Structure 1
C-alpha cells in the first residue's frame, strides 16, 4: 500500500509542480505585491495604500460596474440563446455535424481577428448593422464612438462570442439524453413544449451549471474583446473599461504594479463569490 502511495505521488509530482509554479505561486505573489508600491524592479512595502487608492478611484468602480453588468446580462442571455439554437439544431435540423462545426469555428478563431471584423460591422457610418437598422427604419446609433453605447457593444459581441462553445457542449449533452424519455412522453401525448421543459431542461441542468460557471468566470475576465473592438482602447473616455482592462492599464501603461495587483485581488474575490453563489443556486435547482 505504501509502495503504491509513493508511486502515486511520483506520477502526481509533475502536475503538482506545474500547478504550484503557474497557478498557486502567481496568486500568492499577486497578493503580496498588492501591499507593495514602486516600480516592478523597486518594490517596497506600503501597507493598504494600494487598496485605499483603488477604492477611491472612480475608474476602478466604473470598471467593476461594467464588468458586473456585462456578466449579469451577457451570460444568461447568451446561454438562453445557446440552449434555443442547440435544441433547434438537435431536434429539427439534418446534418447536425455540419452546423456544429460551423458554430464552433468562431471559438477557434482569434478574438482579435473577429473583433476587427465586428469593428467594421459596428461602424456608425458604413457598418452592416446600422445598414440593416436603417432599412428597418430603426435608430442607428454610433456603436463604437458613442460612450453611452460602449458597454452595449461589448455585451452584443460577448453574447455572440459565447454561442460557439455553449452550443457544442449542449449538443453533446443533448445526445446523452435517453431517447426512451421522449418515446414515453409521445405515448402519453406530451407536446413539444412539455418535452422541452419536463425532460430536456432537467436533463441539461448539470451541463448548464458547468456552462454558467465557465461563462461567469470568462465574463469577469473579459479583456481581449474590448481591446479588439475599440482598437486597443476601452472605448471613448474609457467608457467601456473592464476590471482586467483596468488591471492591464495600471500595470503596463501607468507602471503601478501594486495598484494593479490590489485590483487583481479584489477581482479574484468577486469571481470567487459569484461562482459560489451560482453553484449554490444551480445545486438548489438540481435538487428541485
Structure 2
C-alpha cells in the first residue's frame, strides 16, 4: 500500500468567497408600520377631497359657467351677460332683495339680541344652568317641519293661540301670515325661536370666560346690572359678538326654509319672496337655469365679502 505523499501542496491559500450583490435592505418594522399608516390616512384624505370636489367644487364651477349660458331644447349656448340683464330687469329681483334685507334687519334685531339677553339671564343662575341650556337648545333639535307646524297653529286666523289671546284681551284678531304687513315679521319670529339655541350657547360660553373680578370691581363702584353689561360684558365679548353678527348676516341672507314652509315661499303679494326663493323659482318654476345661476352668482359675490370679513376677524381673535 503506497504511503501518502508528504510533499506540501503547491496550491495557494483559499480565497474568500466574493459577497453576492445585495439590494436595498428591507424596511424595518417601524418604517413599514408608518408607511401603512400614512397610506391609510392619505387614502381617506383622497376620498374626502374627491367627494368635496364632486359635490362642492364642481357645482360651483358649473354654476359659474351656467350663469353665462342659455339652456333649452336646442342645447346649451353661451349668451354672455344676457342672464344677468334678464335678472336685473325683473321687478321680482328688486322685491326679493328688499325682502331679504328686511328679513336680515329684523332677524338681527331679534335673533341677535334675544340670544344674547337669554345667555345673560342664564349666566345669572347659580344652579340649574344645565337644564336651562337644554331647554334653550330644544328648538334646534326639533325637525323644522315640526316647528313650522307649531307656528302655523299659533298663527292660524281661525283657532290659533295668538288670536285666542288677542280675543281674550278684547283686541282685534290679526292675519299673521296672510297680511303683507305682518307676514315677514311673523316669519322672523318663528325663525328666531327655531335657531336661537346655538347662538345662546355660544354667548353663554363667552360670558363664562369673563373673570369674575371685573364684575366684583364694577359692583364696588356701584354699577347695576345694566351698567355691568354695558361696561364689562359687551367689551369682553366684543370679538364673539362681531363674529356672530357676521355669521348671522351670512345665514339670514340665504334664508329659504322658514318662508317656504310658513307662507309657501312668496307670501301674500310677494311679501316673503327672498333671493334664494327667487333662485328656486327661476330654476324649478320657470326652467330658467341660466337666470337662477346668475342670481346665485350675485349672491355668492356678496356673501364672499362677508365671509372674508369673518375670516379676518377670526384671525385677529387668534392673534
5+ residue gaps in structure 2? 1-37
- How far 1:70 sits from its partner (Å)? 0.5
Q: What CA deviation, in whole Å up to 9, does each residue of 1:239-260 have, x standing for no partner?
A: 3111111111111222111111
Q: How does 1:1-288 map to 2 (within 5 A)?
A: 10=42, 16-39=49-72, 42-92=75-125, 94-230=127-263, 232-274=264-306
Aligned length: 278
Q: Indicate the structure whose relative CO is greater, using CA pairs within 8 Å and at least 6 residues apart.
A: 1
Take 1:67 and 1:37, find their aligned partners in 2: how far apart are those partners? Answer: 27
Take 1:36 and 1:276, find their aligned partners in 2: how far apart are those partners? Answer: 28
Take 1:275 and 1:110, find their aligned partners in 2: how far apart are those partners? Answer: 28
Take 1:16 and 1:176, find their aligned partners in 2: how far apart are those partners? Answer: 36
Take 1:69 and 1:217, find their aligned partners in 2: how far apart are those partners? Answer: 14
Q: What CA deviation, in whole Å up to 9, does each residue of 1:61-111 have, x standing for no partner?
A: 111110111112212332111111110111146301111111111112221
Take 2:291 and 2:145, find their aligned partners in 1: how far apart are those partners? Answer: 27
Aligned to 1:4: none
More divergent stretch after superposition (189-198 vs 15-24) = 15-24
What TM-score comes out, normalization by structure 2 length? Answer: 0.77
SS in 1 for 2:182: helix
Take 1:111 and 1:194, find their aligned partners in 2: how far apart are those partners? Answer: 38
Cα 1:42–1:109 shift into 2, 3 Å:
farther
Q: What CA deviation, in whole Å up to 9, does each residue of 1:99-137 have, x standing for no partner?
A: 111111111222122112111111122111122223333
- How far 1:237 sits from its partner (Å)? 4.0
Cα 1:233–1:70 shift into 2, 3 Å:
closer
SS in 2 for 1:105: helix
Q: What CA deviation, in whole Å up to 9, does each residue of 1:162-203 have, x standing for no partner?
A: 321211111111122222222333344433222211111111
Take 1:195 and 1:148, find their aligned partners in 2: how far apart are those partners? Answer: 38
Cα 1:67–1:186 shift into 2, 3 Å:
same
Between Structure 1 and Structure 2, the one with more helix by share is 1
Cα 1:40–1:235 shift into 2, 3 Å:
farther
Determine if contact 2:243/2:310 at 8 Å carries over to the other structure.
no
- How far 1:19 sits from its partner (Å)? 4.1
Take 2:291 and 2:131, find their aligned partners in 1: how far apart are those partners? Answer: 48
Determine if contact 2:68/2:78 at 8 Å carries over to the other structure.
yes
5+ residue gaps in structure 1? 1-6
Determine if contact 1:209/1:279 at 8 Å carries over to the other structure.
no
SS in 1 for 2:210: coil
Q: What CA deviation, in whole Å up to 9, does each residue of 1:37-72 have, x standing for no partner?
A: 124993321211111111111112111110111112
CA RMSD of aligned residues (A): 2.9
SS in 2 for 1:44: strand
